[in-house]
Amino acid sequence: MIESLINDELAELTQSAKKAAPVVLSTRIRLARNLVGQPFPERADVLQRRELLTRCADQLSALPQMNKGNFFDIADLSVLEKQVLVERHLISRELCDGEAGAGVYINKGQTCSVMINEEDHLRIQFLKAGFNLKSVWKLIDALDSELEKTIDVAFSEDFGYLTACPTNLGTGLRASVMMHLPGLVISGQMERVIRAVSQLGITVRGLFGEGSDASGHIFQISNQQTLGESESDILESLANVLKTVIDHELNARFKYLEDNRAKLLDQIGRAFGALKYVHVIASDEALNLLSFIRLAVDFGILPEANRADVDRLVIESQPGHVQYAAQEGIAPEARDIARADKLRKEFSNLPALAFDKLEEQE
């Protein structure tokens, strides 16, 4: 059912992420919304959830932002198809595990997905490659405004947007930026950074959110507070923290290069060689090696255009994507071989590492 998404040539994070930036892979903003007079999904019965699913899907299909999009009833998707959507950050693991009457509407280009009957009636999400809080906010705010013309959204003058979880009351807004932070991890500074930003109301999680590992030195950094602040205040505060994290990451990279030049270049070279000639590789190892390849791009050792290729491979190396590409059920060992085959083919098309370019920058 999801073949059209896999083959979407406009897919933001796998095909057209040409504006990916050093440190920041992507920006995502999510809004939680609920309908007046309807019980929260967890309290609703199957009939109520299915009726709301049909109603919301019909109204979403009429919005210009969702033109030529795809609607999926979660009950109709296989376990593997759901895993692929999670790996593309289009749905949550909670939606996968939800009861009957859950679905998702995804626009062409996969910049926007709207989950229906997850924790809230609607979880609206916009996602763009690179560091784009302002532009992503404009997109999701416009969609939210259009949606509220056709749906009576639950709102309180005292508490703002009403949500199933009290921590989402107020704006219902969660902004999240995916960051590549090898400098802070390798230099042993990441724990200190996590403690510092948490005191500012910022959460740091792994690649796939709460409970996931930070494979490939990739972290999601997002706001916690949604009540008592405006959307612009939340985004401005988060942006200021993120800019500081970016500065610390870049400083850590160059400090590590200065103090451990041979070791860092060896790590980059070994990662490139391993990925170019690998025959068996697990997803975590692939991501950790790809981290050094992205670092090579950031240092100018590989062309700028290859950064988007690395970001695409981070997604396409995930277990669900490898399994789906095989078009058949394969054991974990065979999956590791298939992943290696793909990476070997991709790296055969990359130019050689230009370590001399690094010296030219200094």
Q: Is residue 273 one of the residues assigned to a domain?
A: yes
pLDDT, tens digit, for every residue of 66-81?
A: 878 999 999 999 999 9
160 and 280 assigned to the same domain:
no
150 and 237 assigned to the same domain:
yes
State which residues form the domain around 325. 260-361
Q: Is residue 316 one of the residues assigned to a domain?
A: yes
Rounded CA separation 63/54 (Å): 15
Q: What is the pLDDT of residue 22?
A: 85
pLDDT, tens digit, for every residue of 327-349?
A: 878 898 999 999 999 999 999 99
226 and 281 assigned to the same domain:
no
Q: Is residue 346 one of the residues assigned to a domain?
A: yes
40 and 155 assigned to the same domain:
yes
Q: Is residue 43 one of the residues assigned to a domain?
A: yes
pLDDT, tens digit, for every residue of 225-235?
A: 888 899 999 99
105 and 55 assigned to the same domain:
yes
99 and 197 assigned to the same domain:
yes
Q: Is residue 222 one of the residues assigned to a domain?
A: yes
266 and 242 assigned to the same domain:
no
Q: What's the domain count of the chain? A: 2
pLDDT, tens digit, for every residue of 92-107?
A: 999 998 878 999 999 9
Q: Is residue 253 one of the residues assigned to a domain?
A: no
226 and 157 assigned to the same domain:
yes
Q: Is residue 132 one of the residues assigned to a domain?
A: yes
192 and 306 assigned to the same domain:
no
* CATH number of residue 52's parent domain: 3.30.590.10
143 and 269 assigned to the same domain:
no
Among 223, 247, 271, which residue terminates a domain? 247
Among 214, 247, 280, which residue terminates a domain? 247
207 and 335 assigned to the same domain:
no
Q: Is residue 255 one of the residues assigned to a domain?
A: no
Mean pLDDT for 133-144 is 96
83 and 210 assigned to the same domain:
yes
Task: Kindly state the percentage of the chain with pLDDT values over 90.
Answer: 80
Predicted confidence band of residue 360 (pLDDT cuts 50, 70, 90): low
